[in-house]
Amino acid sequence: MTAAPVRLTARALLLDMDGTLVNSDAVVERCFSRWAERNGLDPAEVLAVAHGRQGHATMALLLPDRPAELNLADNERILAEERADTEGVVPVPGAAAFLASLTGLPHALVTSADLPLARIRMTAAGLPMPSVLVTAESVGASKPDPEGFLKGAADLGFAPADCLAFEDSGAGIAAAKAAGVRVVGVGPRALPHHPDAHADTLTTVTVTAAPDGLLTVTVG
């Protein structure tokens, strides 16, 4: 039996990038598998927690006794590798039409990527960059800390409770929930983390705006 569509209302949308708008899994897997091997770790265990976090936060989680300066140095190395590697970077199905439907509506990108990487990946996927951006440089703490989503809501001029986040990872969903933002989970990684609604891809998501600006997001 097909599930009935889920409808949520919001005043603004907060959009993760990797795994939500852009499928960059191939690059992440290549770069973090190399890092895992350099540090004597199982690549599968690293990749199980790498999605959604800034690189140094992943490293701190996996190697808690490692000096922070080494994690930050490795983070810069991985970012450089990721910026140079766009092979396999493609839009999540439905992402282009979804972003086009948000033209003129309040929305922000809230990503753990830094600004150069975000621009490279959105361009590689052929997607337009939202005008309001919260990137790694914008925050002092990585997802699952809520800072990015709190900043995104504030930059758009709305309370977190009036926003709706789109996320694919456990870290991202936890960050949104901690900020008091409801979440539409996108893709298979999101489903185990109990988002408020779930879409296999963005092809099943529509957004309509009422004259008063209230957004209705239909999933399914």
Please tell me the predicted confidence (pLDDT) of residue 1.
Answer: 47
Please tell me the predicted confidence (pLDDT) of residue 52.
Answer: 85
SS (H, E, C) the chain: CCCCCEEEEECEEEECCECCCEECHHHHHHHHHHHHHHCCCCHHHHHHHHCCCCHHHHHHHHCCCCCHHHHHHHHHHHHHHHHCCCCCCEECCCHHHHHHHCCCCCEEEECCCCHHHHHHHHHHCCCCCCCCEECHHHCCCCCCCCHHHHHHHHHHCCCHHHEEEEECCHHHHHHHHHCCCEEEEECCCCHHHCCCEEECCHHHEEEEECCCCCEEEEEC
In percent, the amount of the chain with pLDDT more than 70 equals 99
Catalytic residue among 16, 114, 162, 168: 16
**Nearest 5 degrees, angle CA 27-CA 174-CA 151?**
85
Examine the pLDDT at 15 and tell me if it is beyond 70. yes
pLDDT (average), residues 73-100:
96
pLDDT (average), residues 30-37:
94
Could you tell me the residue ranges of all domains in the chain? 6-24+89-219, 25-83
Known active-site residue 18: yes
Catalytic residue among 18, 114, 145, 168: 18
Are 11 and 213 a contacting pair, CB within 8 Å?
yes
Please tell me the predicted confidence (pLDDT) of residue 2.
Answer: 58
Known active-site residue 74: no
**Predicted confidence band of residue 4 (pLDDT cuts 50, 70, 90):** confident
Under CATH, which architecture does the 6-24+89-219 domain have?
3-Layer(aba) Sandwich (3.40)
Q: Average pLDDT of the chain?
A: 95
